[in-house]
Amino acid sequence: LSNGIAEREKTLAMIKPDGLSGNYTDGIKKVILESGFRILRERVVQLDENGAATFYAEHSSRSFFSSLIKYMTSGPALAMVLEKENAIADWRTLIGPTDARKAKITHPHSIRAMCGLDSEKNCIHGSDSPQSAQREMSFFFKEMSSVHLLCQQLYVQF
């Protein structure tokens, strides 16, 4: 597509509680902007158990699930919508592998290498597919739900 707008993809990023309390926010935002992303939305959120379990529902049967919920509810997090061409894959590359200890060895310039601690406390989240991105963006930003966007389009049309 040639209009430049449709080419831009959106993804959901979240600075997790350890990242926010560790004062990594300014550094992470600098990396985001220098890597060509626009920050379209941002919101500080305090997840409760229900919210964290919904957000990470795909992992509900994993052994680390209860620990993950405890971690994600331990303090405020910063949810952001990032926009860029190929945003979903490029953001996953920029944050690095899940285990921050491994990231420090294999991807030393990744965000998790810089700010994360281990395989759980890895300071940052990124959507892993277009479906996840849509679900996660509308989880934190109700106005980005597909139903809401469709209503907006219809409203403009008629």
- Applying CB under 6 A, the residues found at the interface with ligand RTP are 59, 64, 68, 98, 119-120, 122, 125-126, 128
CB atoms within 10 A of CB 98: 13
Kindly name the residue from 59, 107, 109, 125 that is annotated as catalytic: 125
> Is 125 known to be catalytic?
yes
CB of 93 to ligand RTP, least distance (A): 12
- Tokens representing 150? 């469709």
Q: What's the rounded Cα separation, in Å, for the pair 147 and 55?
A: 19
CB of 128 to ligand RTP, least distance (A): 5
Q: What's the rounded Cα separation, in Å, for the pair 10 and 135?
A: 12
CB of 56 to ligand RTP, least distance (A): 6
Of 12 and 144, nearer to ligand RTP (C-beta) is: 12
Of 10 and 125, nearer to ligand RTP (C-beta) is: 125
Q: What's the rounded Cα separation, in Å, for the pair 42 and 29?
A: 11
Environment class of 96 (CB within 10 Å of its CB; exposed 0-12, middle 13-18, buried 19+): buried
Catalytic site positions: 125
